[in-house]
Structure 1
Amino acid sequence: MPESVGDGLDRALEAAFTRPVPKSAQTRMRYLVRQLKGTKAVAELLGVSQRTVERYVAGKLKRPRKDLADRLEREVRKRWQPQVRARAKQKAASTDGLVLSTRARFGFAAAPGTTDDARIRDITQALPPHWAARLFTARDQGATEQQLQRITADGLAETYFRAGDTRAHGLDVRFTDVERIDIDL
């Protein structure tokens, strides 16, 4: 399955966590109940009955089905340490930027007669804070994976291919077939 920019951003933020994410189904369920202020909201979120949530909280049920375990982990990770996550985003968007390491297909379009066929490239590049801010803002506003890839392509075009507009003026970069993407803050 191809990697996504959104997943890379999530993994980068998770690397900033100062405490481990709860492991057991019971502690995860208790955490969600506290966050969502009730078992009914958690049941609706996870697609199970309210009674099932209550059984996990009480410790009567311990091992959820694979699909429920995956949903439970995803929802807890999404909400875990929101202040740490916000600080990491702010730091990347204001001072540090981020480092993007990817293996993907890059194609180019430029002035007539100066095109380059797409090919797989391995690129590791630091993106300045304003690109980190654009990516996080788009992600928070519900951008699609295609939109996140377009922002990433624009950032790589500016910093890697055009070297801050010192060369390859007007080069349009296409970023597709992402095989791997790692983002570090």
Structure 2
Amino acid sequence: MRARRRARAEADGFVFHTRARFGFAAPAGSSDDPRVRLITQYLSGEVARELFAARDAGGGEQQQIVILARALGHAYFRDGGRRAHGLGIAFTDVEFADFSID
């Protein structure tokens, strides 16, 4: 069962649900400055493969948070790479994180 779910996530991607402090590392008052947000975002199979590879190599939670921050920043703020180039993403104070594979 786990192997099938992993293969499916790596092939088709997954939906990531989280409540965390998330935003650009921007000056206070920016509309995208870090604040607690509830986010539901599709992330690609490439992200799933990267997360599993990190876990399999013994990477800890911090490494997985870095991977998720980059992926969320790309999909959520950068609109798939169409805007907000070069800004750092802040993803901290994770209250919960859940993954759904359709």
| TM-score of the aligned structures, taking structure 2 as reference length | 0.87
Partner residue of 1:129? Answer: 45
Partner SS state of residue 154, structure 1: helix
Structure showing greater relative contact order (alpha-carbon pairs closer than 8 Å, 6 or more residues apart): 2
Larger radius of gyration: 1
* 1:92 aligned onto 2:9: yes
Superposition CA RMSD, Å: 1.7
Partner residue of 1:146? Answer: 62
May I ask how many residue pairs the two structures share in their alignment? 98
Q: In 2, Cα distance between the equivalents of 1:160 and 1:100?
A: 11
Q: In 2, Cα distance between the equivalents of 1:167 and 1:177?
A: 25
For residues 4-153 of structure 1, the aligned pairs below 5 Å read 84-94=1-11, 96-109=12-25, 117-153=33-69
- Share of identical aligned residues, percent? 53
Higher relative helix content: 1
Structure 2 portions without partners, runs of 5+: none
Segments of 4+ moved more than 4 angstroms: none
| TM-score of the aligned structures, taking structure 1 as reference length | 0.49
Structure 1 portions without partners, runs of 5+: 1-83
CA deviation after TM superposition for structure 1 residue 115, in Å:
9.2
